[in-house]
Each structure stands twice: as structure tokens, then as C-alpha cells.
Amino acid sequence: FSKPTINLLLIISLVSGAIGIGSVNYIALYLQTTTGLSPSMAGLLFVATTGGIAIGSIAAGRLIARTGRYKPFSIASAALGVISLGIFSVLHAGTPLIFIALVMLLQGFGVGIGQQVPVIGVQNAAAKADVGAATGTVTLTRMGGAAIAISIYGAIVSSGLTHVQIALPGGVDFRNLTPEGLAALPQAARALVANAYSDAFVPLFLTASGMMVIGLIAALLLPNIRLPREGEGKAGAAARA
């Protein structure tokens, strides 16, 4: 922890966990409550996110191997996260699914291109004897970021729905509706519930976007280090940086 580069990479890893892992369940809930998708269809829509992660991860891996630079990918990843989550914050309950899928694809691509940067960075920055511990710390911070974010997101959504009152047939509390119960509501009532959830998710997406801004700042502060090529060693890479 004495090296600023490692500390910056751990911050990026923390934010990555908060967004890439912590937001998944809440985006699924957002899809079910604002678009009327069933749980299985909402899960199917995550193919866009998964595809973006796969494409971004493969592309970034090849480019990092070719250029030896990981900082640009960390910056791009955080910037795309800020943009995609910012777009999520302005979506409304009637937004077409194809547009939502494109935003999810963009978010997934952003996650993918920066996914391995903290691991690569700390393994390069740490002393040989500390590589294992440093790699484990990256994983720990990523999981910690996810756990913290899940708690924060839950509190935000719950707070946003606490004072909302919607009169539903049979006096049912809309906060207790299952996806099936939501789908069974009359169109007008379903629209009211969808709008209530859409409004409750706005501060969540803004908070997540703010977290990504922190990650972006950390990425911008990273030194522009070139990774050593095979057989070169860190000293040779530093000389050629």
C-alpha cells in the first residue's frame, strides 16, 4: 500500500465491483418494474451486458498486449460507465427495450475494457514477493465494493418508494407486488407503479455514476506505465516508457 499506483488501482477495483457486480440485481429489478418484463425476460436482456463485457474484455486484452499500456483502457472504462449510468438516470418507464439494451451493451463494454486493468496493474507494480497478496487484495476490494454498493442501492430505492402512495385494486401495496402481480394490474395502475419505480431509480443511477466519476479521477491519476514485454523485465519497460 506504500505505492500510489497500487492504491489508485484498488480504488478503481472498488468502484468496478460497485458497478459491474453491485448494480446487476437492481438493473434487473428496474427492468421488471418499469418495463413489465418477466424475470426470465429481464435476465435474457442481460445478454447485451454480457456480450459487451466479452467484446470489451477481448478487445482490451489484445490491445494491452500489443501496446503495453493499460491506463487508457481504465480511463475509457470509467468514462463509459459515467455515460451509460447517466443515460439510465434519464430513461423513463416507456423507453423502448431496444434502447435500454443498447445502453446495457455500452455499460457492459465499458466494464469489459477495464475489467482486468487493476489485476494487471498491481501485478506489475507490486514486488515479486507480494504479487499474490496484491492480486488477492484486488479481488477483495472488488467484492467489498459490490457489497457496499448493494446496501447503498437498496437504501436509495427503498427511500424513494417510502412516501409514494398508489391506490391499487384490492388495496394491495405496490411495493409488495411480484412481477406476475404487476403484469396482472390494469394498464393505468401498471403505468403508475412503473413511473414510481422509475423515479426511485433515478438517484440510484446518479449515485452509481458519481462512483464512476471517482474511478475516472483515479484512472486519470495513474502513471502512464508500459508493461514489460516477455523477457524484458520491469526495469527495461520503465526505461522504454
pLDDT per position as a tens digit, 77-113: 999 999 999 999 999 988 999 999 999 999 999 999 9
41 is written with which cell numbers? 425476460
Report the C-alpha gap between 154 and 226 in whole angstroms.
40
**Statement: the pTM of the whole predicted model exceeds 0.85:** yes
Amino acid sitting at position 136: G
Domain boundaries, the chain: 4-150+202-223
Q: CA 208, CA 121: separation in Å to the nearest integer? A: 24
Q: What is residue 239's predicted lDDT score, i.e. its pLDDT?
A: 45
**pLDDT surpasses 50 at 139:** yes
Q: Average per-residue pLDDT in the chain?
A: 88
Q: Report CA-CA distances (Å) from 190 to 54, 99, 149, 174, 183.
A: 35, 21, 29, 9, 7
d(CA 112, CA 114): 5
Identify the pLDDT of residue 103: 96
Report the CATH architecture of 4-150+202-223: Up-down Bundle (1.20)
Which pLDDT does position 233 carry in this prediction? 55
Q: What is the pLDDT of residues 48-65, one digit of tens each?
A: 999 999 999 999 999 998
In the predicted model, what is the mean pLDDT of residues 135-162? 93
Whole-number pLDDT of residue 180: 76
CB 188 within 8 Å of CB 51? no
Per-residue pLDDT band at 74 (split at 50, 70, 90): very high
Predicted confidence (pLDDT) per residue in 12-33, tens digit: 999 999 998 888 889 998 998 8
